[in-house]
């Protein structure tokens, strides 16, 4: 799958000249959506039973000087999250007044909701605080060859203004590095660090915020400086940390099943390096959907055409996959495996209609309003 690239690239390091296009360009598909004032990062109460979504999807209009890294940090979103959600938009020159979809609604990961959960495929951290609700922030994770480890650990200590001792690989990449990098603007750990029970792995800030939401680290978890500062002050020592790799999430919102699909780690690397990503299989996703649908009474009726479209497009926000069927403009059948194969090999128009229907349906369902200019960019 090809993602055309921009010809302008005002990057620090290797931002690359990517133009965001996933499977299909859906110009105008979310024209009825709108931002609420200010970013939605915190839910002040535990999500209700059978409701696994936090936050609310929004739309803002870009200003003349905006780039995706600017918009992403302003709204606490990762760079690749914004790229995936806005196919067809030049990330370095969106254009004055262009509507930018903010994927600020998130389907909670399908793991025990306790402590910190880090989904490296989604490049997002969740902190479950019990009755105090959920906090979520974008992260930067390990790049190819330096994968962030998966499993369960905990926060063992914290350090303000940490020093950095470059390892063997860092010295191999840059032999001029000192033995110890002191705290300050040249320190890649930023001003705050939370140390994990795994030696040499940290949750920390950064001196290059544009790397948040991308695979750029040597395995550590990096956050925007303002996000790690907040966590640093409030996360207790001993907090459990679970690291998962789950690009596709399934859950409930009321009586509806919802599906959220992100690029895999390999696909994210492909997009960064070549502007393309290959469509891949999704393992047990069909089985997970069928199992959840069977829990409803009567069993939820899944729109498998919409499921296929969401998995192909990987826009990175929740989409309703049950409920009243959409008009018959896309493939849908009772056999999920056969239908998935048929829809994946169908005409581009069929898949485009399926994704358009899914976005419109979910947008109306969340009752989003008309987009406004981003207050922070006026």
Structure tokens at 49: 């039973």
Angstrom distance (rounded) from CA 216 to CA 70: 18
Coil vs helix vs strand at 313? helix
Give the active site residue among 75, 106, 192, 204: 204
Beta pairing partners, 256:
253
CA quadruple 329, 335, 341, 344: dihedral, nearest 10: 20
Identify whether 220 is a catalytic site residue: yes
Identify the helix (H) or strand (E) that includes residue 319: strand 319-320
CA quadruple 214, 215, 220, 224: dihedral, nearest 10: -10
List, in sequence order, the alpha helices (H) in the chain: 68-74, 79-85, 168-173, 225-234, 265-274, 285-293, 304-313, 336-344, 348-365
Angstrom distance (rounded) from CA 323 to CA 365: 11
Give the active site residue among 192, 220, 262, 330: 220
Long-range contacts of 352-355 (CB under 8 A, 24+ apart): 352/24, 352/26, 353/329, 354/305, 354/306, 354/308, 354/309, 354/329, 354/330, 355/23, 355/24, 355/26, 355/29, 355/309, 355/310, 355/312, 355/313, 355/315
Identify whether 262 is a catalytic site residue: no
Structure tokens at 332: 């849908």
Rounded to 10°, the helix 336-344/304-313 angle is 50
Identify the helix (H) or strand (E) that includes residue 115: strand 115-119
User: CA-based angle 265:59:36, to the nearest 5?
Assistant: 115
What residues act catalytically?
A: 204, 220
């Amino acid at each position: 799958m090809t993602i055309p690239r921009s010809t302008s690239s005002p990057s620090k390091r290797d931002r690359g000249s990517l133009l965001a296009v996933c499977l299909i360009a859906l110009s105008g598909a979310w024209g009825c959506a709108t931002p609420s004032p200010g970013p939605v990062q915190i839910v002040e109460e535990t999500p209700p039973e059978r409701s696994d979504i936090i936050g609310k999807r929004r739309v803002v209009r870009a200003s003349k000087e905006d780039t995706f890294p600017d918009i992403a940090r302003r709204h606490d979103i990762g760079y690749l999250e914004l790229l995936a959600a806005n196919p067809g938009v030049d990330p370095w020159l969106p254009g004055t007044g262009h509507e930018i979809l903010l994927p600020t609604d998130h389907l909670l990961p399908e793991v025990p909701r306790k402590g910190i959960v880090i989904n490296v495929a989604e490049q997002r951290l969740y902190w479950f605080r019990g009755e105090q609700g959920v906090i979520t922030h974008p992260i930067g994770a390990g790049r190819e060859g330096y994968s962030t480890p998966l499993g369960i650990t905990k926060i063992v200590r914290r350090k303000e203004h940490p020093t950095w001792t470059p390892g063997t690989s860092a010295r191999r990449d840059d032999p001029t590095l000192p033995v110890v990098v002191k705290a300050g603007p040249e320190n890649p750990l930023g001003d705050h660090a939370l140390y994990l029970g795994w030696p040499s792995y940290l949750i920390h800030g950064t001196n290059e915020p544009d790397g948040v939401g991308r695979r750029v680290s040597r395995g550590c978890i990096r956050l925007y400086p303002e996000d790690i500062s907040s966590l640093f002050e409030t996360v207790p020592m001993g907090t459990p940390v679970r690291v998962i790799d789950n690009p596709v999430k399934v859950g409930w919102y009321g009586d509806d099943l919802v599906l959220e699909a992100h690029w895999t780690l390999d696909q994210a690397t492909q997009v960064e390096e070549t502007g393309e990503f290959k469509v891949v299989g999704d393992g047990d996703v069909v089985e997970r959907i069928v199992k959840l649908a069977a829990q409803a009474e009567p069993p939820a009726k899944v729109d498998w055409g919409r499921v296929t479209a969401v998995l192909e497009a990987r826009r990175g926000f929740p989409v309703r996959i049950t409920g009243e069927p959409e008009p018959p403009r896309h493939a849908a059948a009772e056999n999920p495996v056969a239908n998935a194969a048929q829809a994946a090999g169908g005409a581009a128009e069929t898949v485009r209609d399926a994704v358009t229907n899914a976005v419109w349906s979910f947008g109306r369902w969340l009752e989003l309003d008309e987009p406004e200019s981003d207050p922070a960019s006026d």
